[in-house]
Amino acid sequence: MQLKTTSHLAEDRYFDPDPGQKKVALELYRSIATLPLVCPHGHVDPRLFAEDDFRFENPAALLIIPDHYIYRMLYSQGISLEDLGIPRQDGGEVESDPRRIWQMFAEHFNLFRGTPTGMWLADEMFGVLGVIEKLTGESAQAVYDQIEAKLQEPQFNPRRLYEQFNIEVLCTTDAATDTLEYHQAIRDSGWQGRILPTFRPDAVVNIDMLSWRQHIDALSDVSGITVRDYATFIQALESRRAFFKEMGATATDHAALSPYTAVLSSPEAEAILQRAFKGDATAQDAMRFTGHMLIEMARMSVEDGLVMQLHPGSYRNHNRVVFERFGLDKGADIPLPTEYTRNLQPLLARFGSEKRFDLILFTLDETTYGRELAPLAGHYPAVKLGPPWWFYDSLEGMRRYFDQVMETAGIYNTAGFNDDTRAFPSIPARHDLWRRAATNWLAGLVVRSIVDMDDALDMAHDLAYGLAKRAYHLD
Amino acid sequence: MQLKTTSHLAEDRYFDPDPGQKKVALELYRSIATLPLVCPHGHVDPRLFAEDDFRFENPAALLIIPDHYIYRMLYSQGISLEDLGIPRQDGGEVESDPRRIWQMFAEHFNLFRGTPTGMWLADEMFGVLGVIEKLTGESAQAVYDQIEAKLQEPQFNPRRLYEQFNIEVLCTTDAATDTLEYHQAIRDSGWQGRILPTFRPDAVVNIDMLSWRQHIDALSDVSGITVRDYATFIQALESRRAFFKEMGATATDHAALSPYTAVLSSPEAEAILQRAFKGDATAQDAMRFTGHMLIEMARMSVEDGLVMQLHPGSYRNHNRVVFERFGLDKGADIPLPTEYTRNLQPLLARFGSEKRFDLILFTLDETTYGRELAPLAGHYPAVKLGPPWWFYDSLEGMRRYFDQVMETAGIYNTAGFNDDTRAFPSIPARHDLWRRAATNWLAGLVVRSIVDMDDALDMAHDLAYGLAKRAYHLD
Amino acid sequence: MQLKTTSHLAEDRYFDPDPGQKKVALELYRSIATLPLVCPHGHVDPRLFAEDDFRFENPAALLIIPDHYIYRMLYSQGISLEDLGIPRQDGGEVESDPRRIWQMFAEHFNLFRGTPTGMWLADEMFGVLGVIEKLTGESAQAVYDQIEAKLQEPQFNPRRLYEQFNIEVLCTTDAATDTLEYHQAIRDSGWQGRILPTFRPDAVVNIDMLSWRQHIDALSDVSGITVRDYATFIQALESRRAFFKEMGATATDHAALSPYTAVLSSPEAEAILQRAFKGDATAQDAMRFTGHMLIEMARMSVEDGLVMQLHPGSYRNHNRVVFERFGLDKGADIPLPTEYTRNLQPLLARFGSEKRFDLILFTLDETTYGRELAPLAGHYPAVKLGPPWWFYDSLEGMRRYFDQVMETAGIYNTAGFNDDTRAFPSIPARHDLWRRAATNWLAGLVVRSIVDMDDALDMAHDLAYGLAKRAYHLD
């Protein structure tokens, strides 16, 4: 077999080809390439850091089985999730040999050509795993061997990688009912890594979510406040926020089908909650209750200083077949058109001008960048715009973000970068892609004489590091 | 008169100007420039090929009168459709001298500067018709003479052009009630060109269409099944699909105001159909019936293997004045905002995970590329994304398509190119534009080190040829 | 203090970096750079020109206090509007020292990096005010001194600037009830500058506007027609249009929450108007009445030949806190998703094919450029598309406009440029940005062999000058 090496890792990768612009981009990039990584929002499991000797199992368990970005693409081309080792809800048989899963993945690696997953993997395979061959059906097992060997190396564990990646802080995302035991274990261990929780109350706030009732029971248990009405519900939430804050949290996170907000009267809120307790709440109830609770959460943020993140607009579990067989979060969430101007007005009328309030908005509807989000962020003191999310966390997605957001909002009403990943070893690749996209954009401003080099250097530092740190109160 | 020659036909036309990218683009383009043309969706009249000696009448009849892309632009600048020889519904007088129509067109040819119509015409005039002067009011009659002479040449007839264009297969679009007599004549003639029908049942499915009742009568006649209720309606459609398939069809095509889908109970479907027979169906009935029939058509596709195409989102005949005077399809169809995530969920919940089902989606709402269509195509095994349609079948339209679709869907969940034209001699120009746009996009990936040259060559071949062939089962 | 000079004013600023494209762009730009400025739509106060010796007060009063583009950005970063000298509704105290306001602005000038405001200011400061230092907290007072000195120079008054800027015509925007006394004074003065009014009846047409009743009373007064029912309302409006036309107006302008149009029967229109007189009109009434009046205004335009402009889609005064304390137009207007295809159909069915009618459409929803507006403009004789508006009047906004509009509409269905500004001294900077963006776009067509240089030169002239003049009947 002729060894095919990857060409993905040229120093000037991802930059526009014009030599003048590329020279400036490289200069800007070099000025910020080695800054520490600030990771204010993501889904890495804190358990990875709870003990010093955590090991990753095998290449498939590291890279494929937990990553719905990868297996949704393979599924789209007719490969069954069973063949990729994704566990079935009914305990039915699925592929258990990681080498066969890896082979299947490698044989279809061409599907990721030109995709951000392909770019992250290329970077991660070379930069983190030391693989130089191009992944194909032919090279699959040899590459597997190399990665497997790498996983055995003493320094290849999460804490050592955290240090090697030069991460300054890593925020996880945790249910309101989470005991944060792994965060506590990290603290107790004396290890210096900064792993902070984020308060995400969706499962107890969105009354139409699966198992809402069980989550409420868990909330009662963990808070010690029996949730039986609206008043105790609010008390329990406030108590959990206080606990999260004590454990180092600086932010909360909220998902919703839409960013609809409207205040309910106390009797209305109570009535809806009681219907939910009885299992009688309607879809309309759920929307109104979530819309009310977003305003309540904003009120709590004004009081306790936790930064509020809002991630609306995903139609979860769109594929009923996959949902019934494999459950939640299997790469079958599809974006919806999303409206912010009218929907957020009630919340912003109350708290948008509060200097003690920080609301970071995300979107899966890029049409709102220039039309709604940049104008809102460019006016309201409380509003900042989060980085491109999910499908748009890509080279072209970032280009569109810079082009459509920055002229109206300016960079200082944005919140820098989130890697937003479950895949811990992909973190450096994701930040590097952002840093390259940002400096490439800035180089475009410099060569067109829109900003000078001094300003661009300063902006590059903020985009790569300072904005995220300040927006999430991590300084 | 000083002869002005067109400069539109540089070998490196349409490529980005950076010399590094252009060099790569040219290499990629040359590797696929002469591949056969696969034409899986379009509106060429099969009559052109039914006899060996079909002749085009004159330059105006060839290029202007049948092409609403051209006369809608002239109309927008105050030129009456009568002056362009477009037949009136009432038989009222219109311009009948093709030289005067041509003169009018030539005097306003500046309107097409920077438009895809301008680019196709430049290419077609030079490459197919051998005209080297720039078309202006001054050169109009001389150009007319040249084209008229060309039309007399023995090799200038549809069958010879089909061969000369290196077309591998050309699919037409045909009403469910069509007898396919021209397709039969082509078969009977022994000519080797592959002209295949496509089953388009809109006129019998969309109960709010003009003359629906007459189309139903025609359906009864042609199928030999008297359509009097829902059961016979379905039988007649199934019988027609079987006939189309026998005649070589590999696909169906469906237009709808929106991609709304939802299953009706049998009594509901029956009740709506009976109201339609009585002329009592409402707009709501029409929407629900079409939404139900789309799911039925998907069910039939699962059974008979015909690829299903969906073209939603056009507000037909928007200009009442033009519609009343000139009828359908006169360049007055205007796109609507279109929602796919919620609308298609019922259909996809049933058939989206079927490996035997292929659904090719099109859009006139580019905001859905990244937000809805690429995520759907990048998840569901059945879904593929068609190429940029209608107004977006242009250099910038293709650029937006590549930029907004490919990172999420990957190229293998797309269906290659359709020329989608009534204008047979423009086919090579349209494919060439796509091939240039595709290789220019790929060159951008190569020079930014996102894919290597081996991958890019492979992708170029698929985008130009392989994807369309496989998506439409033409291999 | 080390003097830092601005690099913003390179001759090739704002052009794409590819040397081949830049060379062509410069050639095109030079061919049109000194053409007179046609300003068919804007908000400059006619009072500036009413007397020969009008003086601007001080740098803050010139550049900051009247410009909500500037102070909304400062407000978004936590600076109070009081500190910027914005007058409160309640007469409460605000900063009155222009030097302190200027200092605050200068210290936060980095907020405008990469924004159109930053680009206009750089150009205006250098080109109009002769400032070469970069504005920072340190240089603030020195720059203030320079500008203050400039304001004292005899030639620094509006009439001399008008001449120096090479303005050919400047249209203001004036309430239907305006007496046009300043326009009359300009006429009477014998000064040759062409300052024309534009008829904007929103305050009397949109029955849900604040103080609608007072505006109706003013309409009665100024027209001499007592508005007591629908017939007198229409008469009064027609009378005012006639007066505006006599005073040189060539156009009207209409704002609306949405471009909804539908004809009301006379009794319905009467009933809604009577409810409005009683203060009983609903939001639904307001929408229907505005939708009806847009069609009425189109009818009047067909009769009197005034060009009709429509600016829909802004959610005015979104921030209740700012609105209550500071009133209207304080940088808190946020765009809404906007639909044109269905909404405008009733109006266009009546008047869209009228050759004597000109309707110029604007949008704050860029998704409508390619989907709805370009197809409408590319079909209806009456429809033209206005330039990028408000948040999109920027380098990237213009790029998106050219890329998304021109392939479908062609340039001849567009209306050239509007500066749309209150800030008179920023006019040359705004036109220059447009001219650079336009020639850069054209250069991209030339280097890709889409148009030849002859065509591009002609198109550049039209985009910079001819289109606006013709679209607004200013020739």
pLDDT in tens, A182-220: 999 999 999 999 999 999 999 999 999 889 999 999 999
Residue A475 — pLDDT band, cuts 50, 70, 90?
Answer: confident
In the sheet that holds A251-256, the strands lie side by side as A174-175, A199-200, A251-256, A307-312, A359-361, A383-385
DSSP string, C70-104: HHHHHHHTT--TGGGTPPPTT-------HHHHHHH
- The DSSP code for A451 is S
Q: Which of C72, C116, C315 sits opposite A342 (nearest CB)?
A: C315
> What integer pLDDT is reported at residue B98 of this predicted model?
98
- Domains of chain A, first to last: 19-55+156-471 (3.20.20.140), 56-155 (1.10.2020.10)
pLDDT range class, residue A8, cuts 50, 70, 90:
low
Query: pLDDT, tens digit, for every residue of B381-403?
Result: 999 999 999 999 999 999 999 99
* Segment B446-472 mean pLDDT: 98
Residues 6+ apart with CB under 8 A from C72: A378, A379, C330, C331, C332
- What phi, psi does C396 have (nearest 5°)? -70, -35
Calculate mean pLDDT across residues A449-461: 97
- Does the ipTM exceed 0.90? yes
Query: Which of A449, A452, A462, A470 to mutate to test binding with chain C, by most C CBs within 10 Å of its CB?
Result: A449
Which residues in chain C have their CB less than 8 angstroms from residue B69's CB? none
Residues in chain A with CB shorter than 8 Å from the CB of C396 are: 403-404, 407
pLDDT of residue A1: 37
Residue A117 phi/psi, 5-degree rounding, is -60, -45
Q: Which residue of C has its CA nearest to B389?
A: C371
Query: Which of B110, B334, B337 faces C375 most closely, judged by CB atoms?
Result: B334
Chains interfacing with C (3 or more CB pairs < 8 Å): A, B
Range of lowest pLDDT (A65-69, A235-239, A364-368, B460-464): A65-69
Q: Which of B349, B379, B407 sits opposite A397 (nearest CB)?
A: B407
| pLDDT, tens digit (0-9, with 9 covering 90-100), for B130-139 | 998 999 999 9
pTM of the model: 0.97
Asked if A370's CB is within 8 angstroms of C391's CB, the reply is: yes
DSSP letters spanning B277-299: HTT---HHHHHHHHHHHHHHHHH
Say if the Cβ atoms of C113 and A20 lie within 8 Å.
no
* Chain C residues with CB-CB distance to A380 below 8 A: 76, 319
Q: Which of B134, B337, B395 sits opposite C371 (nearest CB)?
A: B337
Is the confidence at residue A166, as pLDDT, over 60?
Answer: yes
DSSP for B405-458? HHHHH-GGGB-------S-GGGHHHHHHHHHHHHHHHHHHHHHTTSS-HHHHHH
Collect all residues of chain B within an 8 Å Cβ-Cβ radius of residue C353.
319, 321-322
**Residue A5, SS3 per DSSP:** strand
Mean pLDDT by 10 residues, chain C (475 residues): 55 97 98 98 97 94 93 97 96 97 98 97 94 95 97 95 98 98 97 98 93 97 98 98 98 97 97 96 96 98 98 96 94 97 98 96 98 98 98 98 98 98 96 98 98 98 98 96
- Paired sense of beta strands C359-361 and C307-312, if any: parallel
- Structure confidence by residue, pLDDT tens digits, B339-353: 999 999 999 999 999
Closest to A433 measured CA to CA, from A466, A468, A387? A387
pLDDT tens for each residue of A281-324: 999 999 999 999 999 999 999 999 999 999 999 999 999 999 99
Q: Which chains touch A (3 or more CB pairs under 8 A)?
A: B, C
Instruction: Choose among C375, C380, C448: nearest Cβ to B14.
Output: C448
Mutation to test the C interface, candidates B318, B326, B404, most C Cβ within 10 Å:
B318
Please, what is the average pLDDT of chain A? 96
Max alpha carbon distance in chain B (Å)? 73
pLDDT score of B3: 44
CA distance from start to end of chain A: 52
Per-residue pLDDT at B5 exceeds 70? no
Q: How, if at all, do strands A314-315 and A334-335 pair?
A: antiparallel
The full DSSP string for B350-378 is: HHTT-TT--EEE--S-THHIIIIIHHHHT
Q: What is the pLDDT of residue A219?
A: 98
User: pLDDT tens digits, residue range A415-426?
Assistant: 999 999 999 999
**Number of CB pairs, chain A paired with chain B, less than 8 A apart:** 139
pLDDT of residue B8: 52
DSSP code for A36? P
Contacts of B78 in chain C (CB under 8 A): 355, 381
Q: Mean pLDDT, chain B, as a whole number?
A: 96
When CB atoms are compared, the residue of C339, C410, C451 closest to B111 is C410
Q: Which residues on A lie below 8 Å from C107 (Cβ)?
A: none
Confidence of residue A165 (pLDDT cuts 50, 70, 90): very high
CB–CB of C408/C418 below 8 Å? no
Tell me: the pLDDT tens digits for B288-302?
999 999 999 999 999
Q: For residue B9, what pLDDT is reported?
A: 82
Please answer yes or no on whether A412 and C110 come within 8 Å at the CB atom.
Answer: yes
- How many inter-chain contacts (B to C, CB under 8 Å) are there? 140
- The Cα–Cα gap between C404 and B404 comes to 14
